[in-house]
């Protein structure tokens, strides 16, 4: 490809991205302001989850765990939905089921009109807490590798990698190795790799979980800017109440295990969100509501682990007796 062709491709990519940005803005405005009663919800469903339950191990066995129970949810196209809930309530399990990495014991997930039966690399990309970059490849090579696995033509990989690195502010570090980056920069690189795949859906499992609070805040602000420019549907697992309120269009609060959705909270605030949203009365009100919903569930989760530890201790003392 010569320079003029590459330039043309870049321009059409930017055009498409801008067009998608405009489309989502229109949809968001339609959703938030539309209709005579101001409540004209016209949302398209990106992911449809129906009656999903899952358990690990054999029933009656010592390792039997009911992780998820009869969970149903419609995820709207273009929204960022946060999943929040006590540790072990099945958030990652649900994310893995949505992404086709795991088959549910019961229930279905549909993306568009297609039932999820395995990974769908054209539709769904992942970002995990552990960024899983290849340490022997540079940042840009890592991004290109993701596209290679997805089957993107070689000629397109370079320009798409550069655009996604620019989107996360890492273009100047394209030739660095992961070990030469900070933790926050590594997560940006992982995000760039996921963005370069141009999937409509991005599943993020505690992507900023291992980072310090200040870095998380900055990455959160960047993600909100990104959201305002694209129509990606993002499902984002977090333990941070503040992060959930700052980023989410809606927050799904999970009960203790077996997890199911206890309540969904709307955060009616346009993207990109400004840092002063964090100090607003609205932010505090929603955060407090989340806290009160979660508090009882976290207590239950803690007492569940105490009970299972006691059972395990009883079993091992029985085994130890002659
Ligand atoms: N591969 C597995 N084999 C056996 N049990 C599993 C497996 N994966 C998860 N579990 C169990 O299922 C339950 C739900 O796990 P999951 O990882 O989905 O929770 P989570 O909500 O993501 O927790 P955290 O917030 O700590 O990441 C837990 O009790 C966990 O021990
Ligand atoms: Mg998890």
Residue nearest to atom 23 of ligand 1 (CA): 88
Structural domains of the chain, count:
1
Residue nearest to atom 9 of ligand 1 (CA): 93
Is position 286 within any domain? yes
Confirm or reject: Cβ of 90 under 6 Å from ligand 1.
yes
- Give the other-Cβ count within 10 Å of 153's Cβ: 8
Strands laid side by side in the 106-111 sheet: 65-76, 45-56, 106-111, 114-115
Is position 35 within any domain? no
Q: Are 88 and 253 in contact (CB under 8 A)?
A: no
Residue nearest to atom 16 of ligand 1 (CA): 90
Is position 55 within any domain? yes
- Residues in the chain with pLDDT values less than 50: 3-4, 6-8, 10-42, 312-313, 316, 322
The two tokens of residue 25 are 């803005």
Beta carbons within 8 Å of 274's beta carbon, 6+ residues apart: none
Tokens 């940005």 correspond to 21
The per-residue pLDDT for 19 is: 41
Half-sphere exposure of 167 toward its Cβ, with a 13 Å CA cutoff? 28
Is position 274 within any domain? yes
Structural domain harbouring 64: 44-123+199-320
Is position 114 within any domain? yes
250 closest CA partner among 289, 199, 205: 289
The per-residue pLDDT for 98 is: 96
**Which helix or strand (DSSP H or E) is residue 65 part of?**
strand 65-76
* Ligand 1, atom nearest to 86 Cα: 25
CA of 86 to the centre of ligand 1 (A): 11
Is position 253 within any domain? yes
Is position 66 within any domain? yes
The per-residue pLDDT for 160 is: 94
Instruction: Specify the CATH number for the domain of residue 297.
Output: 3.40.50.300
The per-residue pLDDT for 226 is: 84
The per-residue pLDDT for 317 is: 52
Is position 291 within any domain? yes
Rounded to whole angstroms, the Cα distance separating 92 from 237 reads: 8
């Amino acid at each position: 490809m010569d320079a003029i062709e590459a330039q043309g491709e870049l321009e059409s990519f930017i055009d498409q991205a801008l067009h998608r940005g405009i489309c989502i803005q229109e949809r968001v405005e339609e959703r938030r302001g539309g209709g005579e009663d101001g409540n004209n919800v016209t949302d398209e469903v990106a992911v449809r989850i129906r009656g999903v339950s899952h358990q690990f191990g054999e029933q009656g066995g010592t390792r039997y765990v009911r992780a998820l129970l009869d969970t149903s949810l419609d995820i709207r196209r273009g929204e960022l939905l946060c999943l929040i809930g006590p540790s072990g309530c099945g958030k990652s399990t649900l994310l893995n089921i949505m992404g086709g990495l795991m088959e549910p014991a019961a229930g279905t997930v549909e993306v568009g009109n297609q039932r999820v039966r395995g990974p769908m690399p054209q539709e769904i990309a992942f970002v995990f807490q552990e960024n899983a970059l290849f340490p022997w490849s540079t940042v840009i090579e890592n991004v290109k590798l993701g596209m290679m696995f997805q089957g993107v033509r070689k000629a397109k990989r370079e320009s798409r990698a550069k655009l996604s690195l620019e989107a996360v502010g890492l273009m100047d570090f394209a030739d660095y190795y992961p070990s030469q980056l900070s933790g926050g920069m590594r997560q940006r690189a992982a995000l760039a790799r996921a963005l370069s795949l141009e999937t409509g859906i991005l599943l993020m499992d505690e992507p900023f979980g291992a980072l310090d609070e200040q870095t998380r805040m900055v990455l959160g602000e960047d993600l909100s800017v990104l959201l305002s420019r694209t129509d990606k549907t993002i499902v984002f697992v977090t333990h941070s109440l503040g992060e959930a309120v700052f980023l989410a269009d809606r927050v799904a609060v999970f009960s203790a295990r077996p997890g199911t959705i206890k309540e969904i909270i709307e955060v009616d605030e346009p993207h990109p969100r400004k840092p002063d949203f964090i100090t607003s009365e609205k932010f505090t009100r929603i955060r407090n509501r989340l806290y009160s919903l979660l508090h009882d569930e976290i207590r239950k989760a803690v007492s569940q682990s105490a009970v299972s530890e006691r059972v395990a201790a009883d079993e091992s003392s029985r085994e130890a007796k002659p």
